[in-house]
Structure 1
Amino acid sequence: MFKKLYQWTLKLSQHRLAERWLAFIGFIESIFFPIPADIMLAPMCLSRPGKAYRYAAILSIMSVSGGVFGYMLGYFFADEAAQLLHSLGKTETFTSFRKTFNRWGIPFVFASGFSPFPYKIATIGSGLIPIAFPLFFLGSALSRPLRFFLIAWAIRKGGAKLEHTVHRYIEWLGWICLILVALGIAYLYIKH
């Protein structure tokens, strides 16, 4: 299933309406779509390096917009989610998660927006908890463009070779970022 979605996404990057598809994929990837939008961004930037920053901007705007929609889904369906968790006997677990997420939500949003961790979990979870919307928005508005413009920059500067290197190490960079945030949270949690 994922392989077919991946191939479909790559094919869309060569479509005459690729910018619109990029916007659509960026929006839905922030809510539920399992394939990262970078998969479409990279070939588009390679085929037209002069438009790389335009593509990164489109993707950034639509990804953050999708994130806002995901936040709203979590926010407006929080009661239903709480009832479901209560019926599953997970009320205490959810309460503990809510406290932790409330305290460390912004670093988590930023890390998930930049790292390979699914951003959609941060968007819906942020609304579900809820963390303050302006802080959620700030974390998203900084992390998503950082990720997409880094890819666009790499392709403009180094072409296919550098893009390949960035894609090869983006997972590691993302995980390192996520681990550093987790270590920082753990340190602050233990300290208090």
Structure 2
Amino acid sequence: MELVHSAIEWMLTWAASPYAVLALFIFSFWESSFFPLPPDPLLIAMAVANPAMAPYYALVCTVASVGGAALGYFIGKKGGRPLVYKIFKAKRVEPVEGLYRRYDAWAVGAAAFTPIPYKVFTITAGIAKINFWRFILFSFLGRGARFFLVGMAVYFFGPSIQLAIDEYFELFTLGFLFLLILGFVAAKFVGDYLTRRESGRDTISG
């Protein structure tokens, strides 16, 4: 947890950089395929510093994240299981495939909005070979809803949000870490549940 906290603090140092927008784009892009940390803390820091630009920052996050999702999709599609299993454990990938079989691209939209690790869904979408354009559409909807919710909140309530974040920044960081960890736990719980469910069906059918 301390490592993640340090990584978030390092990410936030880019907020005051002349390359802040580029850094936001890169973090958002790679988070959808490789990078372990979501760009939300940097988005919030930049939006609070300049509330008038908050919608623009949210758009940067959304476009970059969907671009990274497309990369993750093609990694899964072209690399196949051997490559993907070098990145993620099979027990994390196979349950996500089960979600795609049941809910198709709706699973993408849900994962794009929640703290669930999105990269697992983008890469697995390529393995499952769900329709690419439907995948992109739901990625835009999920990621856009998530980032614009943050950006527009700062845009409309900037001063009060800025005071709250400045005063309770440490608690905010800990809360974000909690949500991040909760997302991983939720992904594992859902994965284990679906695995048991599939095993039970196989036993009955056998």
Cα gap change, 1:10 to 1:160, in 2 (>3 Å): farther
Q: Over aligned residue pairs, what C-alpha RMSD do you find?
A: 3.4
Partner of 1:105: 104
Runs of 4+ off more than 3 Å: 96-100, 160-165
Partner of 2:198: none
Partner of 1:18: 20
SS at match of 1:77: helix
Superposition pairs for residues 32-51 of structure 1, below 5 Å? 32-51=34-53
What is the rounded CA distance, in whole Å, between the counterparts of 1:44 and 1:153 in structure 2?
13
What is the rounded CA distance, in whole Å, between the counterparts of 1:120 and 1:105 in structure 2?
16
CA distances 1:105-147 after superposition (whole Å, capped 9, x unpaired): 3121001100111111110110111211111111101111111
Cα deviation, residue 97, structure 1: 6.0
Could you tell me which amino acid in structure 2 is paired with residue 66 of structure 1?
Answer: G
Superposition pairs for residues 1-192 of structure 1, below 5 Å? 1-81=3-83, 94=94, 98-159=97-158, 161-162=160-161, 171=179
**Preserved contact between residue 53 and residue 153 of structure 1 (Cα < 8 Å):** yes
SS at match of 2:126: helix
TM norm structure 1: 0.76
**Preserved contact between residue 105 and residue 131 of structure 1 (Cα < 8 Å):** yes
**Preserved contact between residue 75 and residue 128 of structure 1 (Cα < 8 Å):** yes
CA distances 1:76-104 after superposition (whole Å, capped 9, x unpaired): 1115258x69xx9x79x94x864542332
What is the rounded CA distance, in whole Å, between the counterparts of 2:29 and 2:42 in structure 1?
13
**Preserved contact between residue 102 and residue 131 of structure 1 (Cα < 8 Å):** no
What is the rounded CA distance, in whole Å, between the counterparts of 1:97 and 1:146 in structure 2?
22
**Structure 1 gap ranges (5+):** 187-192
**Preserved contact between residue 102 and residue 130 of structure 1 (Cα < 8 Å):** no
TM norm structure 2: 0.71
Cα deviation, residue 47, structure 1: 0.4
| Aligned-residue identity in percent | 29
Could you tell me which amino acid in structure 1 is paired with residue 152 of structure 2?
Answer: W
CA distances 1:47-87 after superposition (whole Å, capped 9, x unpaired): 001111111111110000000000000111115258x69xx
